[in-house]
Structure 1
Amino acid sequence: MGAKWVLLGVLFLAFALAGDADDASVKPTVVKVVKGKKLCGKGWECKGPSEFCCNQTISDYFQTYQFENLFSKRNSPVAHATGFWDYHSFITAAAEYQPKGFGTTGGKLTGMKEVAAFLGHVGSKTSCGYGVATGGPLAWGLCYNKEMSPSSDYCDEYFKYTYPCTPGVSYFGRGAIPMYWNYNYGKTGEALKVNLLDHPEYIEQNATLAFQAAIWKWMTPAEKNLPSAHEVFVGTWKPKANDTLAKRVPGFGTTMNVLYGDDVCGKGEDEHMTNMVSHYLYYLDLMGVGREEAGPHEVLSCAEQEAFKPTSSSSS
């Protein structure tokens, strides 16, 4: 009789596990409570212990077919980086930052919106969809992985003692959020523990590294007294009185302010700004979130915002 109940128990467990396998949001979770705080780990994609790993991971709500929908023209014969960008590279890069809150801050909706926002920047900056491009101009994100006709070697001699330019090397735009200038390659390389100052070409040779550099930029404040794009988007940054006067509010608009400053912000309906907003809204729709979740115009736009650092020296 005992053996019968053991067999039934095993069968029940097998059916339960089979049911879980059909639910992409169910993953083995290691949970710890440290000083009353719940910390989790979810395998390679969200290595704990982290409070953010107690939420859904990016692959729970953003899967391969959605990536393909967002970047449907990236492998077109006329694209300039055919075969370079893929979903696996994005998820592998994101795995390094999910324990820090990238795409895992708050609930599923906030995570999906952050991924759409980040990829909105990426899609806009790497698009070759102009005018009457087949599929519409918003379908051509991840067409590039580098600047095709550099106008400069982007070597700033001001940084010759901290990030000296390597002879014969050019620091033109490369990556998912294109990186320019020797000092940006130097700082990013230090953070990622990759020698990008001597070998900036690594960014155009490795899609995971290219995404990783862009996510690091999204997650990292440019200076100690400034927020990151991640913080202003998910709302962990709280505007001070001077921010309110400068019309800076949490949301997508202020991510552009963080990343590009007055290159695009405080200039009215600037073409580059509206292009990024359009990509973000388009991706929200394709991901099933809906653009109505993006918020009002003053949250989406930075048209009237003062830059965090006026007279920007950003690398956009």
Structure 2
Amino acid sequence: MAFLLKNTLSLALIITLFWSLPSSIFGQNCGCAPNLCCSKFGFCGTGEPYCGKGNCQSGPCEGQATPTTPGSGGSGSSSVSGIVTQSFFDGIIGQAAASCPGKNFYTRAAFLNAVSAFPQFGTSGSSVENKKEIAAFFAHVSHETTNFCHIEEQDGKVNDSYCDQTKAAQYPCAPGKKYFGRGPLQLSWNYNYGPAGKALNFNGLGNPEKVATDVDTAFKAAMWYWMTNVHSVMNQGFGATIKAINGALECNGKNQAQANDRIQFFKKYCADFGVNPGVNLSC
């Protein structure tokens, strides 16, 4: 009986202490207020047990920047969604004529959805670096689509199958399919459609048209190409991004007018975001 009483009292004491703790520390699995940290055990609070290095899952963790969720629709000026506002997006697509096929196709929501699938885009550097990357992305998109007017390539080569036979063993071209430019960055060639489809879980070789008919796939394909081929050269200047996208046709003095168009868009968007475009703008 004494043993049972002792254990009952101990349990009562534990329960009392548990409920006497501040309510702010609770919130299992988190979802904490912005000023609270989510501990490794899934509770909200402040101080070393919640915000300390090794103890903190999210929130104002010590020793790191407060995590953001790109594409979440938040209004924070440092997030991708806070930089690419609806007003900024509309400022681009608003220049497209009403007859443009892209006018009712491209949306900011689809762009942010693509960003959420590639969380390193526009978030992995300093605030200035992030804004320059976003400006660079939209500079190329604006050039490639003529301010979101076009969904498919318009330069007269759409009759070309864009099937590189040297890559056909790995990325076999499907009968009757053409791999000309589609989407915000005009994804082209079988060796891009193949791996893009694999990464994004659609049949890129068998159904390349999806990049021009499904806006989420269109932006994700563009983001896939960017993060695979362009993101890593941003620190070399805007000229390096031109080389990564269309260097064979626009670098070393070739089609300088086309390269200049991209550069002018980049300068404009950098000005919109309040950052200096830097050097090495041309390739």
For the Cα contact (< 8 Å) 2:70–2:112, is it kept in 1? Answer: no
For the Cα contact (< 8 Å) 2:70–2:81, is it kept in 1? Answer: no
Which one-letter code corresponds to 1:147 in the other structure? E
Q: Identify the residue that residue 121 of structure 1 maps to in structure 2.
A: 140
Greater RCO structure (CA 8 Å; 6+ sep) = 1
- 1:59 Cα shift? 1.1
Q: Identify the residue that residue 71 of structure 1 maps to in structure 2.
A: 93
Q: Identify the residue that residue 190 of structure 1 maps to in structure 2.
A: 198
Instruction: Check if 1:59 corresponds to 2:59.
Output: no
Among all aligned residue pairs of Structure 1 and Structure 2, give the percentage whose two residues are the same amino acid.
29
For the Cα contact (< 8 Å) 2:70–2:115, is it kept in 1? Answer: no
Give the 3 Å change call, closer, same or farther, for CA 159–273 of structure 1 in structure 2: same
Which one-letter code corresponds to 2:278 in the other structure? G
Q: Identify the residue that residue 295 of structure 1 maps to in structure 2.
A: 278
Instruction: Check if 1:144 corresponds to 2:150.
Output: yes
Instruction: Check if 1:274 corresponds to 2:260.
Output: yes
For the Cα contact (< 8 Å) 1:31–1:41, is it kept in 2? Answer: no
Give the 3 Å change call, closer, same or farther, for CA 122–39 of structure 1 in structure 2: same
Q: Which moved more, 1:269-278 or 1:193-202?
A: 269-278
- 1:283 Cα shift? 2.0
Map Cα deviations across residues 261-296 of structure 1 (whole Å, 9 max, x no partner).
Answer: 2321111671111111011112223x2425xx0123
Alignment of 1:218-233 (within 5 A): 218-221=226-229, 229-233=230-234
Alignment of 1:1-316 (within 5 A): 33-34=53-54, 38=64, 42=68, 45=71, 56-74=78-96, 76-98=97-119, 101-127=120-146, 141-148=147-154, 149=156, 150-221=158-229, 229-233=230-234, 235=235, 250-267=236-253, 270-285=256-271, 287-289=272-274, 293-296=276-279, 299-302=280-283
Give the 3 Å change call, closer, same or farther, for CA 267–64 of structure 1 in structure 2: same
- 1:145 Cα shift? 0.7
For the Cα contact (< 8 Å) 1:56–1:107, is it kept in 2? Answer: no
Q: What is the RMSD of the two structures over their aligned residues, measured on CA atoms? A: 3.0
Which one-letter code corresponds to 2:218 in the other structure? A
Map Cα deviations across residues 121-178 of structure 1 (whole Å, 9 max, x no partner).
Answer: 1100111xxxxxxxxxxxxx11101124413122233333221111121111111111
SS at match of 1:294: coil
Which one-letter code corresponds to 1:289 in the other structure? G
Give the 3 Å change call, closer, same or farther, for CA 27–167 of structure 1 in structure 2: farther
Give ranges in structure 2 of 5+ residues lacking alignment.
Answer: 1-22, 24-32, 41-52, 56-61
What TM-score comes out, normalization by structure 2 length? 0.71
Give the 3 Å change call, closer, same or farther, for CA 121–34 of structure 1 in structure 2: farther
CA distance in structure 2 between the partners assigned to 1:94 and 1:27 by the alignment: 25
- 1:45 Cα shift? 3.7
Q: Which runs of 4+ in 1 moved over 6 A?
A: 26-29
For the Cα contact (< 8 Å) 1:146–1:204, is it kept in 2? Answer: yes
Map Cα deviations across residues 222-250 of structure 1 (whole Å, 9 max, x no partner).
Answer: xxxxxxx21221x3xxxxxxxxxxxxxx1
CA distance in structure 2 between the partners assigned to 1:170 and 1:31 by the alignment: 51
- 1:197 Cα shift? 0.6
Paired residues in the alignment total 229
SS at match of 1:119: helix
- 1:61 Cα shift? 2.5
- 1:42 Cα shift? 4.2
- 1:30 Cα shift? 5.2
SS at match of 2:102: coil
For the Cα contact (< 8 Å) 1:121–1:276, is it kept in 2? Answer: yes
- 1:86 Cα shift? 0.9
Which one-letter code corresponds to 2:170 in the other structure? T
CA distance in structure 2 between the partners assigned to 1:268 and 1:152 by the alignment: 22
Which one-letter code corresponds to 2:124 in the other structure? T
Q: Identify the residue that residue 12 of structure 2 maps to in structure 1.
A: none
SS at match of 1:103: coil
Q: Identify the residue that residue 134 of structure 1 maps to in structure 2.
A: none
Structure whose CA Rg is larger: 2
SS at match of 2:180: coil
CA distance in structure 2 between the partners assigned to 1:126 and 1:27 by the alignment: 42
